[in-house]
Amino acid sequence: MSLPPHGTWVINKQTPNQQLWWSSPISGPRRYEYVEERERWLYTRVIEEGDGKESAEVAENDGDTLGSILTQELKELYGWDLDVEA
The pLDDT tens digits of the residues spanning 3-51 come to 888 889 999 999 988 999 999 999 899 999 998 888 889 888 876 665 5
62-78 burial, b at 16+ Cβ within 10 Å, e below that, comes to ebbbbbbbbbbbbeeee
pLDDT at residue 53 above 60? no
Sequence-distant (6+) residues with CB within 8 A of 67 are 40, 41, 84, 85, 86
Question: φ, ψ for residue 18 (rounded to 5)?
Answer: 50, 50
For the entire predicted model, the pTM comes to 0.73
User: Which stretch, 44-48, 53-57, 58-62, has highest mean pLDDT?
Assistant: 44-48
Q: pLDDT higher for 13 or 55? A: 13
Q: For the chain, where are the alpha helices, taking DSSP H only?
A: 44-48, 66-78
